[in-house]
Chains A and B, each alone.
Chain A
Amino acid sequence: MRRLIPILCSALLLQGCVQTLAIRTMGGILDYGFEAFNEESDLLLAEDALGSNLKLLEALIKGDPENEGLLLLASQGYSAYALAFAEDESPERAKMFYLRGREYGLRLLRLNSKLRAALDGDAAALVSTLQSLSKDDVPAVFWTAFGWAGYVNIARTDLEALAALPRINAMMEFVLARDPGYYYGGGHLFFGSIIGSTPAVLGGKPARAKEHFEKALALNGGKFLMTHVYYAKTYAVQVQDKQLFESLLNTVDEASLEILPEARLPNAVAKKKARILREAMDELFIE
């Protein structure tokens, strides 16, 4: 009997270790899983698979709540789901998923004690704290800001969210400064869209928006088609350049999904968004 106790104890300990180990391994597999999602060109298959894997991911996070890799995947996964499969169909669902993307990102960033305080403060405090971070922190900052901005964009009546925009901008400025090429020039794509959708009378600077889009296109070689979609949706509409709008969307329509195999999914989503955008053209351009 006495001998049994240490065995039981070590078994219990071992069980804990095994569980964590298993989660870590699963996390690694999921990493590949997300690569595989991004390579998927069939939107229906990707939607189903991404949805169920996000729940699996959440279960794993419950078992290992401070696992940085898992938190990042969850942040990225939920925001990607919102952008790809909810935003155009149900803004209410998209709001919820963007918020989850933001929350997992914030959980990850808050593991850093300096950031924890700065994230709740004003934009100036956040700017100076971000300066102490390195290029390795770019993904976490990018996906948190991405989810946050995605939410603000569709929840314009949420004033608290609107008031957070300067902090979101500060985070994306950091991404631009440390790694402008991250996620196909994602920082430039963000600022192009934000500046490009602001009317000139409210301080929008169309020329600067155009610069950001052109830099994003240069960084991703024109192969990441979301760039064209947002270039058309924001800048081209704001300056009422219908010709540019149509030529950007034509480029998206005509592009093969094989131009960037690792981003077949975002590119397929871009094609869907381009179609929706074209259908709304009458409301975007004044005849």
Chain B
Amino acid sequence: MKRRTLYFFLFVFLVGTCYSQQFIIKFATIAPENSTWYNVMKEYDAAVRKESGGRLKFQIYAGGVSGDERAVLRKIRIGQLHSGGFTGVAMGEIAPSVRILDSPFLVRNNEEVDFLAAQFEKDFEQAFEKGGFVLLGWAEVGFVHVFTNAPIQKPDDLKHIKLWTWEGDPVAEAAFRALGISPIPIAFPDVLTSLQTGLIDAFYSTPYATIALQWHTRAKYLVETPISRAASAVLLAKSYYDKLPADLQEILMRNGRTILPKLVKLVREDNIKSTELLKKSGIIIQQVKDSELSIYIEAGKRARKSLVGKLYTEDFLDTVERSLDEFRKNNRTSK
């Protein structure tokens, strides 16, 4: 009798091990091996592997081998990949309304960013789901500044520079139009060459990306007031998520929400360090006078309004702006 029970358990155990399916999430990122992005995703992978006893893991394709974000999106839609780190234009293709987080001159510091992400979490999650994705966690690109070769003492000075704009990005286009600038659309890979040949003499980017892309060798000034703050998210195809057993879904989501915030923190630190390095390399920070600040703020309002209907509803914009105002009132530190 005892022996039979033992056999029974052994049988159940063996069947269990043989038949417990392994799930491999194919994740793509443009970030190279050994970069902050890659290291944090490796940590995420290690955590889910350990907790699931090896039933769930990430296969990380780094260094852009799967193409740019839009190519990754296409590959996810045909099932070749399952997950990716998304920003800007590609994130907007999945969930247009999420781009409100990127919208011109909306947020001014990280506290406001984190407040909006938390306050409207459900709205954003729903928007991603509607686009066929599950939010594993927010990532970070950071505050986007204009870099120039001529001094920018007032917003009007921006009208006299040859500013690059990313082809096909409605948010950047709206921001610049509201400031009365006619930027020059150029594909991303050609920016450095265009700066070298003088086709453009100004660009916008985060301090970290400016160094990583080596664009810093082609700029003399950084305008302190950011034109926007670029969001980023790690997303998983909902069709894949739905196939996972409930316990694996739980492991995946819980770890995403605890580990990916580290990425946010590290990228923010990298941006601060990068600003210091830019200063050290001779780039001058152009401060904006308080009297001029309102010009940017007003341009931001117009720009955000102009994106109503394209990316989000008027109602959503109003709600977001109102709750942000409220947050500012309650937090004196948040200017």
**Chain A interface residues (CB < 8 Å from chain B):** 91, 122-124, 153-157, 159-160, 162-163, 165-166, 197, 199-204, 237-238, 240, 282-287
28 residue pairs from A and B, CB less than 8 Å apart:
A156-B32, A156-B35, A157-B36, A159-B208, A160-B277, A163-B216, A166-B217, A199-B30, A200-B68, A201-B30, A201-B68, A202-B30, A202-B64, A202-B213, A204-B64, A204-B189, A238-B64, A238-B65, A240-B65, A283-B59, A283-B60, A284-B61, A285-B65, A286-B26, A286-B61, A286-B65, A286-B75, A286-B81
B60 contacts A203, CB within 8 Å? no
Contact A203:B277 (CB < 8 A) given known A165-B214, A286-B61:
no
B34 contacts A155, CB within 8 Å? yes
Interface of A is mostly: helix
Residues of B within 8 A of A287 (CB): 80
A197 contacts B61, CB within 8 Å? no
Q: How far is the CB of A184 from chain B (nearest CB, A)?
A: 25
B64 contacts A201, CB within 8 Å? yes
B67 contacts A201, CB within 8 Å? yes
| B66 contacts partner chain A, Cβ-Cβ < 8 Å | yes
| B191 contacts partner chain A, Cβ-Cβ < 8 Å | yes
Interface centre among A200, A204, A238 (most CB of B within 10 A): A200
| B274 contacts partner chain A, Cβ-Cβ < 8 Å | yes
A162 contacts B26, CB within 8 Å? no
A199 contacts B68, CB within 8 Å? yes
| B317 contacts partner chain A, Cβ-Cβ < 8 Å | no
Number of interchain pairs (Cβ within 8 Å): 90
Residues of B within 8 A of A282 (CB): 59
Which residues of B in the span 236-260 have a Cβ within 8 Å of any Cβ on A? none
What 0/1 readout, one digit per residue, does chain B (208-250) give for beta carbons within 8 Å of chain A?
1001111011000000000000000000000000000000000
| B273 contacts partner chain A, Cβ-Cβ < 8 Å | yes
Residues of A within 8 A of B132 (CB): none
Q: Specify the chain A residue showing the minimal Cβ separation from B273.
A: A159
**Cβ-defined partner of B270 (8 Å) among A159, A200, A204, A238:** A159
Q: How far is the CB of A237 from chain B (nearest CB, A)?
A: 6
| B282 contacts partner chain A, Cβ-Cβ < 8 Å | yes
| B21 contacts partner chain A, Cβ-Cβ < 8 Å | no
A284 contacts B65, CB within 8 Å? yes
**Cβ-defined partner of A203 (8 Å) among B32, B213, B270:** B213
A162 contacts B211, CB within 8 Å? yes
